[in-house]
Structures are given as structure tokens and as C-alpha cells.
């Protein structure tokens, strides 16, 4: 019988050329009907998994041998995406909006590279096969249309709405947040079809906002009954008998303390520092021995693996382990016996190198439960007499701790570790979940002290087990992409700084840290730090130790938080096995099993970490928007944090960020200069660039998209922006509607008010037709423009004027064709039809605008509005322009088979 391994071994041979199944049948000398049937099933399975590809002439081969790249799709809200290859040596591949072929964010794909930039530049490709679907459920807002409905996804990376047949409503009403199970995925022109499986409540109901984000990211809530049953079996205390049986080192007589936030309940690390007689320092880091209670393969272990880590949302924590464990027997609560995994290190007083270390199981009884605030007061000498008296027995210990942590930090900085000192914020919510304040998180000497001790333990453990050559999990941070670092080096020159030590991959982290020290305290510090961070790769877990660029560490792991991170729990198990083997090492069978599991655990943990970060960011942004709702019209001073082709982002001191759209900057016409990341006025030569301080006014807060719009404080309230002034100047009429839709803008705001009803008009014809794949739609009447399809915008609405051009496809910088009459500034939508993607620009827009300016005398005619919508496919979330009043939605003209976006209310 032919096996999978035999097929793959054949196809990987250099001499192999793709074969038909008949040729493969002969190659493997298959005889008999059943054997042939089994072989076809094996071949089909390999093809379905994407491990084998069937190409021209029905011939089979390995994807990588047939110029195909396998990877995961990272979709963008604008409609395009990037393939992140499984082969980390392969560059990312850009996939245009028109080439997505119904693929959704996270899908596993096979992609054919169709275009390569010069000198190893950017790659572009097209999807050949969707190997595995990633999105099974979608959270969104339900729109009811009598005989059918649509769900508008909360995840903007899913930029086509989900069609819901009438029999799958499950009683959902207009405006409710729902969870949809996808029944049929999008294909060709057809939209994805789904069925509602859960109604979360109306989008404006308290608590539904956070619940929607939890469902959107697939975060678990309650633990399954069988998991809770196992957790309940955990003891409340430990016995002398089990301490003796396990041969644990007894440290209960040592002065060991925990240092955490005042509201922390899961205390998983404790520390101790002693100055030895030889002048060296002994640092003990003692971590809760969670692996003793969460056994491999148990229900608790399976649940922890699936969750990957604890998730810290604005108003709640979704723990990796039940509170029975995390806040109970595994928490190093004060003055009670707890089982721990310890790492003791002796540091040379002069060089701060580890001269001796020991890793062992132990039992401790912490002396005190300290808080960051109190430790900071003690170390800085700001403690009052009451605090000093309370912790008199520990004052000398904290003095030695501060001394050691300072030396460890200095050693780390000297070797080139990068230390980003970002100001983090925390949204404070009341009992009902409403935001009442935004405060800055403090990173005091106490936090940095614990940080240094944990880093030292993580490095020591990683190096120890690396040299033992046992299966292990490491935390790695790969070297930055050469091109990104070169761009960053050029960027900092705009501020008068230089990146020393070479360019590209030759740049040592020490050069980056030197730059951070140079800019400390300057107005551009936050901006340069942010751009530097974005120039680097994300840290992740891996079964191989390849080093940590940001820490300038050769070996690094996560050992110190097994209560809230699964990789820490896994390596604790490995450590226990090695210690219990007493020098014999792992058996060959066990070694092979663990080695096979580590890559999978690393990938799963990295993915779950990414989900947790995204969910935390989403809830943070949601509550920041809600916090700013009652501040519309108020003025603040902020700093420009980002500049793009469609405007600039302003960050306020409380970390709230909002966008000033280019179309709302009404004192000049501004051009985006990508290399300088600046907006420069044509007439006044006024420059806005990252790091500049500006005074803004809060203009709008969009709770559906979780976005905030600012405007310059010196702009007239409710005044028209650049685009509106152009339209009024050259047409003698009001500006068209908002960002598009069916026969009118989003909300249909022009000089009249657009209706949401079918065929709403304003004394004119209904909205224009739908643009075909490669052409613009016909011009609409007074009421509004048409709707584009698959990346080409519909015609702009006009009055007696030829239609506007279609929308650009939305490629990377400078690759998009021109837009409509006012041009597509960045290929993602008409300049006035919608927002453009970062860094994209279209010179056709500027040329057209200058031509229009020369036609000053012709102000009596009507100019068409720009085509295209803000999302770059099918005019999604943005069709053509309206006339004197925005048009209706024309719902009957658009059935499910259209497969495009329905306009959001």
C-alpha cells in the first residue's frame, strides 16, 4: 500500500517531473481495484490539504516545485491582502483586490507569483487555490430587507457582507448584533451566505459592544464542565508528605516576596536577592509550579492549549486557567506554602555575568505581598515613616534589589538591547462598562526591577536547556527586514538624526538603542520610536533558538508566567521531566514525541497571542471612542502621529487618536510626500509632519467603525473641506453626498438629505447603474451615482456631465490607475469618494485638480463627483456621488447574486 511519505519523497526528488495519476499508478506499481481506490483517496487528500497540487494536464507535484507559495492570507479592510508564506525565508506576496477570489482573512492559500519587483523587490501574485478556510463564524450588525437580510461584519477585513436568507433570520431584528455561521463562502460574484446562530442584542445595548468583540475574535468565556470538574479537584493547600516525596528544596525560611500591581490576584512570580560574602549577588526567581496541577493531556491542559494565554480586556480578564487554580493553589499568596519552580543565579559583582546557576523544584512561603507603588516609594526614598516601619525587615533587601536591577539593566543596554519606553494608557470604566477616564500606566523603578529579574531568569533557563539539546520552546525575535530598516534610516534623517552602524541587516540593535537615547525627551521621541517598532518583526514562539534581536540576547524563553501563558507551562513540564530523570535524559520515544509537538505548540501559541492582542486593542479603541462621544466640538492640543495620503492622525495626551482628513483641511491644497511623511501645502508651503504639535477640534465619533475624526481648531465649525469648496466653486451647487452606497452617500449628505428607502429621489432620476469589472457605470441622475463592482467604482452622479471614471484597483504605492473626475488619490477610492490606503498616491488626481483650477471661468457647470468607494472592491462602503440630494438605496435592483456590499446605515 502506497503511503503519504512515499508520494512526497518521490515528488521532492530533483529529477521528478509532474505526473498524471495514471503515471503515478505505474510508478508505484499499483495492482488491484481496492489499492487503486485507496491511492486515489490518498492523492485527493494530499491535494485538499494543499501538500500536493494538480496543475495543467492533470499532473501532480509539490506546490513549491511548481512555482507556488503556500501561506496564510492577511487581508486588509481596503480589499487587498498579503500572503504570509509558511516558508519564513520567502518574502510576503501582495494580492490585489481583484485577485482575491473570495478568500478571507486567515485562509491558507496557494499563490502564484505573477510579478517581481526589480532587484528582489516586492512580489505580487494571484490565488490559485484556497486550501483551508479560516473564518467559520462572523459577528456583525443585521440589516433586515423583508425577504432577505445582510450581516455587516464587525471585522473590517471581511469587506463583503454576509447574505442571510429569510429562513435563517432566527428572529433577528434590524440593528441587532448577531453571530453568523457561514454556510457558503463567497465565490465569483456571489456573496457569502450564512445563518444566524446567536443574537447578542441591539448594538446600542449595554455590554453588547464588548461581547461582540469577544465573539468576533472567537474568545472563550466560561470553562467547559469537564474542565471545571478537574479544577475543583485541585487542593486548597499542600502537605508535608508531597513536599518530601517530590524531593523539593525547602525555601520556606528565606525572605522571598512577590511584587505586583495592587489589583493583581494571580501572583505567579516571587523574588529574592542576597549579597554573598564574596561580593557577588544571588538572585532567586521562583515561579508557581502550575505544571504540577495541570497535567499533560488533561482537560485542563487541552483547554489551556486552545486558549493559549489570558486575555486582558478593558472591563474583564478571560483567564487561561480557572480561578480555582490561577487565584488559588497556583497563586503565590503571602505567608502560605506554595510549590514552585526556581531559578537561582549568581552574578559577578564586576561583570554582571552569571557565574553559577541552578534550576530546581522548590516550596516557598512568601514573606510579603508587595505592590509596585510601595516598592517604588521605598527604593526612591519617598516612603513615609509608617511604610518604613511596616517593611523594616525588608528595607535592606529592597536596597540590594535596586542595586542589582540597575546593574543588570546597564549590562543589557551595553550589549545593545532596545528599550522602548512607550507611555501606555488604561481606560477606566464604571460598573456599567462606561468609560469614565483614561489614565497613563506608570513604568516605575519597581516595574523595571521585576522586568530585569524576569529577563535574567528567562535567558538563563533558555541557554541551559538549549545546550542540553532537549525539545524546548523559545521566544525569538528575528532580525528586521533590510528594506524596512533602510526606509527607517532615511526617515530619521528628516528630524536631523542618523542611524549609526551601517544600514539594513547590518544594523546592530545597539545602534537603534543609541538613537532612542539621542531622541529621549524630544518632541519626535514617540514618533521615531513608533516607526522604529513598526520597522521590526513581531516576536513569536519557536522550537528553535535563533536569538532575540530586540533584547540582543542569543537565548531567550518564556519561563516566568505559566498561569497566563501556555508556552511557560509547557517548558515547566520539560524541566520537570529532565530534573526527575536525574541525568538520564529523555527516552528516545519521548524525545521524538516532544520534538514533534513543539513546532505546533509554538505556532498555536503565537496565533493565540496575536488574537489576544487584537482583542485587547479593539476593546481599548472602542472605549476610547465612547469616552470621546460627549467631547465632540471640544478643542485639544495633540501631536501628529502618522501622515498618509488621505490625511493625518493626531494623538492626544490621553492616547486617543483621531484622523484629520485631507478633504477637511480647507486652508490650502496639500500634497503627501511619502519619503518625508509630510503634507505640504501648494500655495502656502505649510508643512505638517510627524511629531508636530497641532490644535484640533473633535468633529465626529463613529461608534460603528470605532473611529474618531478631528478637524483643525482654526477651521470653521461645520465648514466645508477642500473638496466641497472645489465643487461649490466650479459647479455652483452643493457638494455631493458622503462616501457612497446605492444611489447616494453614506447617510446621503449633500445639500439635501438622502433617503434610505427604495428609489428615494430628489427631483431627478434614481442612482446610476453598476460599473462592470473593467468599466465605469453610466452616469446617475441628480440623486446619485452607481455602484462599482469588484474593484471598479461606479459612475459619479452628475447633472448633464459625462460620468466619472472608475475606481482604482488599490495596489501598493503608486501602482493604482487614475480615479474619477477628481481622481483616485490612492487607488482605494475616489479622492472624495473614500479614504485611500497608507502610502498610496495617484498623480492623475493632482493633474486633474490643476486643470480644474485653470477652468475658473467655467464655474456655472456641474462637475461630476469622484468615483469609487472607500474600501476598494465593488464600491463597497462607497459608491458614486450624489447630486443636490443623495439618492435612495435601490435595494430591489441588487439581489444576493450581486455579491457586493450593502450600504451601511
- The answer to the question of residue 74 being in a domain is yes
Q: Do both 248 and 286 map to the same domain?
A: yes
Among 400, 424, 454, where does a domain finish? Answer: 454
Q: Does 567 reside within a domain? A: no
Distances (CA, A) of 66 to 44, 62, 99, 160: 18, 6, 19, 32
Say yes or no: 293 and 404 in one domain.
Answer: yes
Same domain, 344 and 196: no
Q: What is the pLDDT of residue 619?
A: 95
Question: Is residue 238, in this structure, part of any structural domain at all?
Answer: yes
The answer to whether residues 57 and 71 belong to one domain is no
Let me know whether 149 and 118 are in one domain.
no
Residue 536 included in any domain? no
Is 43 part of any domain? yes
For residue 706, give the CATH number of its domain. 2.40.50.140
CB 26 within 8 A of CB 39: no
For position 530, what pLDDT does the model report?
84
pLDDT value of residue 860? 37
Residues 157 and 286 in one domain: no
pLDDT in the model for residue 735: 34
Residue 234 near residue 293 (C-beta atoms within 8 A): yes
Do 99 and 180 share a domain, yes or no? no
Residues 324 and 351 in one domain: yes
Angle at 7 between CA 5 and CA 10, to 5 degrees: 105
Looking at the domain assignment, is residue 879 inside a domain? Answer: no
Q: What per-residue confidence (pLDDT) applies to 717?
A: 72
Residues 81 and 166 in one domain: no
Which residues in the chain come in under a pLDDT of 50? 503-505, 719-905
- Going by C-alpha positions, the residue among 876, 895, 888 that lies closest to residue 788 is 876
Tens of pLDDT, residue by residue over 214-241, are 999 999 989 999 999 999 999 999 999 9
Q: Is 888 part of a structural domain of the chain?
A: no
* 442-to-425, 445, 448, 534, 744 alpha-carbon distances in Å: 9, 10, 10, 23, 48
Give the count of domains, the chain.
5
* DSSP for 550-566, written as a single string: TTTBSS----S-TTTBH
* pLDDT for residue 485: 86
Look at residue 338 and tell me if it is in a domain: yes
pTM for this one?
0.74
Residues 326, 231 share a domain:
yes
**CATH number of residue 39's parent domain:** 1.10.10
Note whether 185 and 328 are same-domain residues: no
3-state SS, one letter per residue, for 120-134: CCCEEEEEEEEEECC
231 and 122 both lie in a single domain: no
pLDDT at position 718: 58
Answer with the one of 681, 712, 743 that is the final residue of a domain. Answer: 712
Give the per-residue pLDDT at 502: 52
Q: In the beta sheet, which residues pair with residue 339?
A: 363
For residue 358, what are the domain limits? 225-414+432-454
DSSP string, 15-29: T---B-HHHHHHHTT
CA distance 326 to 303: 14
Of residues 156, 158, 159, 178, the one with CA closest to residue 168: 178
Long-range contacts of 588-596 (CB under 8 A, 24+ apart): 591/470, 591/471, 594/470, 594/471, 595/471, 595/543
Amino acid at each position: 500500500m502506497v503511503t503519504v511519505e512515499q508520494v512526497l519523497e518521490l515528488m521532492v526528488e530533483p529529477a521528478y517531473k509532474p505526473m498524471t495519476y495514471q503515471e503515478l499508478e505505474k510508478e508505484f506499481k499499483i495492482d488491484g481495484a481496492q489499492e487503486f481506490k485507496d491511492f486515489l483517496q490518498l492523492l485527493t487528500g494530499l491535494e485538499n490539504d494543499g501538500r500536493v497540487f494538480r496543475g495543467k494536464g492533470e499532473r501532480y507535484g509539490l506546490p513549491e516545485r511548481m512555482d507556488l507559495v503556500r501561506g496564510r492570507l492577511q487581508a486588509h479592510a481596503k480589499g487587498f491582502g498579503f500572503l504570509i508564506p509558511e516558508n519564513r525565508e520567502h518574502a510576503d506576496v501582495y494580492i490585489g483586490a481583484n485577485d482575491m477570489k473570495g478568500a478571507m482573512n486567515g485562509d491558507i492559500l496557494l499563490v502564484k507569483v505573477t510579478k517581481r519587483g526589480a532587484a528582489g523587490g516586492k512580489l505580487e501574485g494571484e490565488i490559485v487555490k484556497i486550501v483551508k478556510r479560516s473564518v467559520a463564524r462572523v459577528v456583525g450588525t443585521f440589516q433586515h430587507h423583508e425577504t432577505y437580510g445582510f450581516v455587516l461584519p464587525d471585522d473590517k477585513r471581511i469587506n463583503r457582507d454576509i447574505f442571510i436568507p429569510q429562513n435563517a433570520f432566527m428572529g433577528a431584528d434590524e440593528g441587532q448584533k448577531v453571530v453568523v455561521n457561514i454556510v457558503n463562502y463567497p465565490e465569483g460574484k456571489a456573496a457569502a451566505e450564512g445563518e444566524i446562530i446567536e443574537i447578542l442584542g441591539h448594538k446600542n445595548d449595554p455590554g453588547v459592544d464588548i461581547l461582540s468583540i469577544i465573539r468576533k475574535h472567537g474568545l472563550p468565556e466560561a470553562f467547559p464542565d469537564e474542565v471545571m470538574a478537574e479544577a475543583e479537584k485541585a487542593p486548597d493547600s499542600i502537605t508535608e508528605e508531597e513536599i518530601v516525596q517530590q524531593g523539593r528544596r525547602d525555601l520556606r525560611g528565606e525572605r522571598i516576596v512577590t511584587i505586583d500591581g495592587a489589583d493583581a490576584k494571580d501572583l505567579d512570580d516571587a523574588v529574592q536577592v542576597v549579597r554573598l560574602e564574596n561580593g557577588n549577588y544571588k538572585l532567586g526567581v521562583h515561579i508557581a509550579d502550575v505544571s504540577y496541577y495541570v497535567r499533560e493531556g488533561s482537560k485542563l491542559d487541552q483547554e489551556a492549549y486552545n486558549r493559549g494565554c489570558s486575555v486582558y480586556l478593558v472591563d474583564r480578564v478571560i483567564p487561561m486557567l480557572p480561578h480555582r487554580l490561577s487565584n488559588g493553589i497556583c497563586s503565590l499568596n503571602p505567608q502560605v506554602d506554595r510549590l514552585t519552580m526556581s531559578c537561582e543565579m549568581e552574578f559577578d559583582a564586576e561583570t554582571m555575568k552569571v557565574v553559577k546557576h541552578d534550576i530546581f523544584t522548590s516550596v516557598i512561603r512568601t514573606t510579603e505581598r508587595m505592590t509596585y507603588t510601595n516598592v517604588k516609594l521605598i527604593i526612591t526614598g519617598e516612603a513615609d515613616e509608617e511604610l518604613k516601619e511596616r517593611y523594616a525587615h525588608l528595607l535592606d533587601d529592597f536596597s540590594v534589589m535596586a542595586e542589582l536591577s540597575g546593574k543588570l539593566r546597564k549590562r543589557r543596554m551595553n550589549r545593545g538591547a532596545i528599550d522602548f519606553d512607550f507611555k501606555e494608557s488604561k481606560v477606566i470604566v464604571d460598573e456599567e462598562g462606561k468609560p469614565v477616564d483614561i489614565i497613563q500606566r506608570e513604568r516605575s523603578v519597581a516595574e523595571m526591577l521585576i522586568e530585569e529579574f524576569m529577563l535574567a531568569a528567562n535567558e538563563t533557563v533558555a541557554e541551559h536547556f538549549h545546550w542540553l539539546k532537549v525539545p524546548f520552546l523559545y521566544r525569538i525575535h528575528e532580525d528586521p527586514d533590510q528594506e524596512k530598516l533602510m526606509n527607517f534610516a532615511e526617515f530619521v534623517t528628516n528630524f536631523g538624526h542618523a542611524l549609526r552602524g551601517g544600514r539594513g541587516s547590518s544594523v546592530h540593535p545597539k545602534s537603534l538603542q543609541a538613537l532612542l537615547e539621542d531622541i529621549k525627551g524630544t518632541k519626535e521621541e514617540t514618533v521615531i520610536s513608533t516607526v522604529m517598532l513598526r520597522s521590526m518583526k513581531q516576536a513569536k514562539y519557536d522550537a528553535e533558538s535563533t536569538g532575540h534581536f530586540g533584547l540582543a540576547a542569543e537565548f531567550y524563553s518564556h519561563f516566568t508566567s505559566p498561569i497566563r501563558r501556555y508556552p511557560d507551562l509547557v517548558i515547566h513540564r520539560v524541566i520537570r521531566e529532565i530534573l526527575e530523570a536525574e541525568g538520564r535524559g529523555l527516552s528516545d520515544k519521548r524525545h521524538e514525541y516532544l520534538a514533534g509537538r513543539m513546532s505546533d505548540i509554538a505556532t498555536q501559541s503565537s496565533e493565540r497571542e496575536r488574537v489576544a492582542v487584537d482583542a485587547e486593542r479593539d476593546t481599548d479603541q472602542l472605549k476610547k471612542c465612547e469616552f470621546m462621544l460627549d467631547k465632540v466640538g471640544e478643542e485639544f492640543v495633540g501631536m501628529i502621529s502618522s501622515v498618509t495620503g488621505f490625511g493625518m492622525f493626531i494623538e492626544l495626551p490621553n492616547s486617543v487618536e483621531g484622523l484629520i482628513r485631507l478633504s477637511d483641511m480647507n486652508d490650502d491644497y496639500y500634497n503627501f510626500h511619502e519619503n518625508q511623511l509630510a503634507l505640504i501645502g501648494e500655495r502656502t508651503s505649510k508643512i505638517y509632519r510627524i511629531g508636530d504639535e497641532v490644535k484640533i477640534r473633535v468633529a465626529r465619533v463613529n461608534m460603528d467603525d470605532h473611529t474618531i475624526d478631528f478637524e483643525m481648531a482654526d477651521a470653521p465649525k461645520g465648514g466645508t473641506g477642500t473638496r466641497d469648496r472645489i465643487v461649490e466653486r466650479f459647479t455652483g451647487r452643493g457638494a455631493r453626498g458622503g462616501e457612497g452606497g446605492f444611489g447616494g452617500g453614506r447617510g446621503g449628505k449633500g445639500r439635501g438629505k438622502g433617503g434610505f428607502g427604495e428609489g428615494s429621489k430628489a427631483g431627478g432620476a434614481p442612482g446610476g447603474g453598476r460599473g462592470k469589472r473593467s468599466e465605469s457605470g453610466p452616469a446617475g441622475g441628480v440623486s446619485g451615482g452607481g455602484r462599482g463592482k469588484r474593484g471598479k467604482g461606479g459612475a459619479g452622479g452628475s447633472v448633464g456631465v459625462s460620468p466619472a471614471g472608475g475606481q482604482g484597483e488599490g495596489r501598493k504605492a503608486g501602482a493604482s490607475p487614475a480615479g474619477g473626475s477628481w481622481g483616485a488619490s490612492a487607488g482605494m477610492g475616489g479622492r472624495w469618494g473614500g479614504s485611500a490606503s497608507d502610502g498610496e498616491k495617484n498623480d492623475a488626481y493632482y493633474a486633474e485638480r490643476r486643470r480644474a483650477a485653470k477652468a475658473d471661468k467655467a464655474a456655472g457647470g456641474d462637475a461630476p463627483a469622484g468615483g469609487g468607494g472607500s474600501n476598494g472592491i465593488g464600491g463597497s462602503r462607497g459608491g458614486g456621488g450624489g447630486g443636490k440630494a443623495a439618492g435612495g438605496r435601490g435595494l430591489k435592483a441588487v439581489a444576493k447574486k450581486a455579491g457586493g456590499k450593502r450600504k451601511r446605515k
